[in-house]
Amino acid sequence: MDIQLEKLELIKLLAETNDESIITSIKNIFNSKKKDWWNNLSEEQQNIINESLEEYEKGNFSSFDDFIKPHL
């Protein structure tokens, strides 16, 4: 199988179709192949990020300048 030829044939078929369900199906295939980095994190890492976001939303954070001042 020549992969470049296969891709060209698929491009031709895609360009010629007006069937939205085919286009949607192809998009879904590509989207399902994308890896979501969130799923690669451990449960502990996800919890830490979620807790940090909650603290940020509550206003519990420091600016970079406030953080760096004592270290200068």
User: CA 4 to CA 67: how far, in whole Å?
Assistant: 54
Tokens in use for 1?
């199988």
What are the phi and psi torsion angles at 24 (to 5°)?
-60, -40
User: CA 9 to CA 23: how far, in whole Å?
Assistant: 15
Residue 26 and residue 33 in contact, taking contact as beta carbons nearer than 8 Å: no
User: CA 41 to CA 39: how far, in whole Å?
Assistant: 5
Q: Note the pLDDT of residue 8.
A: 93
Tokens in use for 43?
């449960």
Q: How confident is the model at residue 15 (pLDDT cuts 50, 70, 90)?
A: very high
**Predicted TM-score of the model (pTM):** 0.44
Query: pLDDT tens digits, residue range 38-48?
Result: 888 899 999 99
